[in-house]
Amino acid sequence: MSKTVAGNFFEDFSLGQKIVHATPRTLGDGDRALYAALYGSRFAVQSSDEFARALGYPASPMDDLLVFNSVFGKTVPDISLNAIANLGYAECVFSTPVYAGDTLSARSEVIGLKENSNGKTGTVYVRSKGINQRGEEVVSFVRWVMVRKRREKSAGPAAVVPLLQKFANIKARVPRLNMAKWDFAQSGSPHRFDDYAVGEKIDHLDGMTVEEAEQQLATRLYQNTARVHFNQFAEQGGKFGRRLIYGGHVISLARALSFNGLANAFHIAGINGGRHVAPLFAGGTVFAWSEIIDKATYGDVGALRIVTRATRDLPCAEFPAEDATAEKPGVILELDYWALIPR
């Protein structure tokens, strides 16, 4: 058995297969600071212990997407090292908040397999879970990736495509908080649940140019080992001639940009779906806009269903929806999620 991991190919996966991922990692105050420095996120609950404690959190929880990216990263060596594309996400629910000192590990189950008609690739569906040191689930999500086959002619398994919910069921996971203690001056906006209408579109105005060093620092912080993000020597002969910015970096940037317009949308409770529509490279500037597509209430906390689109080199005053290509500015990410907000 080889001592090195060159990644699994389509033939290496089987339906129902369970995978324990390496490496467990303790998140701490340093991760919080790095996350702040990487994205400039300003949501008060994740920024201030005092703000979080007033609501009933024991301390400021880690950013939801830091948790997501950390768990995602662990799955890469087993799931997507030979992936051609991250096709989508679904049924992502953030269960238990993560605090400094918590140790996260990850495991996955293969829930679908479908060979592509070209005979060269197949789609692998996995449900991945992040677990804390007490065995509690902190996040669970489904993703599907297009993976190379080891041999073009090899016989594939019977196609099984999982039936996925259209949106994440967050109901059981909405935290009970003392929302009366919300401080709208400190949080940066007076706008609450009732101020947002279904169909409303918000241009988040700001743009953020991505540097290679930033995405490498972020992606390594998540212990994500996909070579497309790190290895210019290999990528210079590849499709794009350069390193690809990790998709989770774009998600985190888009969420941070969305503060300007959604400052009180303090917690991503779940991700209903997501697509990385087009690639991002260093030097590109990310903008974002959001549309409110649904609303729900859970006691004294509201939930906005939001679709945030991130663009490359295209300001969002006109709410662009056309996909970017490697050359043409446009949408690079569509993310459909539930965010909690004071009523």
Site for a copy of itself in 96-125 (CB under 8 A): 100-101, 103, 105
Q: Of 12, 15, 17, 28, which one interacts with a copy of itself (CB under 8 A)?
A: 28
Q: Tell me which residues in 248-267 interact with a copy of itself (CB under 8 A).
A: 260-263
Contact 113, 126 (CB under 8 A): no
List residues bridging with 271 in a β-sheet. 92, 337
CA nearest 286: which of 295, 277, 296, 298? 277
Which range binds a copy of itself by CB under 8 A, 49-57, 118-126, 162-170, 267-275?
49-57
Q: How far apart are CA 217 and CA 14, in angstroms?
A: 33
**Residues 146 and 87 sit within 8 Å (Cβ to Cβ):** yes
If the CB atoms of residues 25 and 276 are measured against a copy of itself, the closer one turns out to be: 25
Residues 65-84: x/- map of binding to a copy of itself (CB under 8 A)?
Answer: ------------x-------
Least separation, in Å, of the C-beta of 129 and a copy of itself?
15
Instruction: Show contacts with a copy of itself in window 194-223 (CB under 8 A).
Output: 195, 202-209, 211-214, 216-221, 223
Number of residues located near a copy of itself, criterion CB under 8 A? 83
Q: Does 58 bind a copy of itself (CB under 8 A)?
A: no
Rule CB under 8 A: choose which of 40, 56, 58, 241 binds a copy of itself: 40
CB nearer a copy of itself, residue 203 or residue 323: 203
> Would you tell me the crossing angle of helices 212-221 and 247-257 to the nearest 10 degrees?
100
The answer to whether 276 and 145 have CB atoms below 8 angstroms apart is: no
Report the residue number, 171 or 181, with the smaller CB distance to a copy of itself.
181
Least Å from the CB of residue 32 to a copy of itself: 6
According to DSSP, residue 161 is labeled -
Phi and psi torsions of 304, nearest 5°: -105, 130
CA distance 179 to 302: 10
Other Cβ atoms closer than 10 A to 44: 23
What is the closest distance, in whole angstroms, from the C-beta atom of residue 216 to a copy of itself in the complex? Answer: 6
Q: Is residue 274 close enough to count as binding a copy of itself by CB under 8 A? A: no
Nearest CB to a copy of itself, comparing residues 180 and 233 = 233
Please report, as residue ranges, which positions from 277 to 306 form the binding site for a copy of itself (by CB under 8 A): 283, 285, 287
- Asked if residue 1 binds a copy of itself (CB under 8 A), the reply is yes
CB neighbours of residue 4 within 10 Å: 4
In the complex with a copy of itself, the residue whose CB is nearer, 23 or 165, is 23
| 178 belongs to the binding site for a copy of itself (CB under 8 A) | no
Neighbour-count burial of 247, counting CB atoms closer than 10 A to its CB (0-12 exposed, 13-18 middle, 19+ buried): buried
Of these, 13, 38, 249, 288, which contacts a copy of itself (CB under 8 A)?
38
- Pull the structure tokens for residue 281: 């490279």
Least distance to a copy of itself from the beta carbon of 124, Å? Answer: 20
CA gap 128, 143 in Å, rounded: 8
Residue 3 CB, shortest distance to a copy of itself, in Å, is 5
Give the whole-angstrom CA distance, residue 11 versus residue 20.
19
Say how many C-beta atoms besides its own lie within 10 A of residue 214's C-beta. 18
CB 297 within 8 Å of CB 194: no
